Amino acid sequence: MLTTDFLQQIADNSSAKQPQNYDKLIENIETLEKAARDFYGIYLSAKLKKAMQEYGERDTDIHIVSHAKSGTTLTQMLLYQLTTDGNMDFNHIYDVSPWFRHCVSFSKPVPESEGRRLLKSHEIYDVMSHIKKGKIIFLLRNMLDVLPSAYQQTKNYYNNQDDFEKFVDQRMKHWFEYNTPWLKNEKELDILYVHYEDLVKDKAITIRKIADFTNIKLTDEMLQRTVERTSFKFMKTHETKFGEQPHKWKVYDKFIRNGKVGKGKQDFTAAQLAEYQNLADEFMREHEQTARYFGSNLDT
């Protein structure tokens, strides 16, 4: 845990105040890089949590939480359709369903809403565990589909040159480490677990389940509109309203992908699939929400 004294020591240890031993820093450049990256992550999380405290909580809040590439944007759109008249006149989904980390990272104010607030998050459980009000929808998706989708996004957004095998080796364990605390839910937050696979294959049933959990009175008209406007065709047509668009000169036209279920397994090596099963034994094989991902039928 970081102490005030340690933070002050780091703050005082700038090159402007005292010379650095650059030869020693160069020797340890990889450790320095990791420390800088991790320290910045802690800083952003603290800044984010401060923003959340200032934003406050309401009983009507709905938090949409998941590991990245697990259906967050789809669920934001789904809940926007359920909690409004569905008008598509917003510029970007973040205007009507804000993402705290995006706002904090780019020093933007968090948009307010007169109605129910739909709050996106990819935060770890520890950052969100203070929540006392509102509902949390936590999305789960098979890691064998998550990582291929994430890999394509990093290639499209950031021109990532790593091959897929290296990408998986670096990120596989994180999927388990991220989801496990959310599944344990030691603070007993009010969570509905939703599987991305059910959103795709049984959308109407899943919409009813979400509406019931969030106390939304669902009409047939609302259901029909929500099914239609969360379709791949509709969201692809309105793609500029979803995903990150950090540079106007660069067009990101691959954020809305087909989201097929069970197609990712073929991209993994035999050794990676074996490691996937080993990690399941270590973390969450028997949990009722994730057991479906580790059986003989890995497509579902």
Q: What is the mean pLDDT of the chain?
A: 88
Sign of CA dihedral 182, 235, 150, 55: negative
The two three-digit tokens of residue 299, written as one number: 């497509």
Prediction pTM value: 0.87
1-42 pLDDT tens trace: 778 887 787 777 765 566 788 888 899 999 989 888 888 888
Q: What pLDDT is attached to residue 11? A: 73
151-181 pLDDT tens trace: 887 776 665 667 899 999 999 999 999 999 9
Query: Is 288 buried (19+), middle (13-18) or exposed (0-12) by CB count in 10 A?
Result: exposed
> 57-293 architecture in CATH?
3-Layer(aba) Sandwich (3.40)
42, 44, 63, 140, 274 from 75: Cα distances, Å: 27, 25, 10, 12, 31
Residue 246: pLDDT above 60? no
The two three-digit tokens of residue 124, written as one number: 């770890």
Query: Residues 113-122: what's their mean pLDDT?
Result: 94
51-104 pLDDT tens trace: 999 999 999 999 999 999 999 999 999 999 999 999 999 999 999 999 999 999
Query: Is 12 buried (19+), middle (13-18) or exposed (0-12) by CB count in 10 A?
Result: exposed
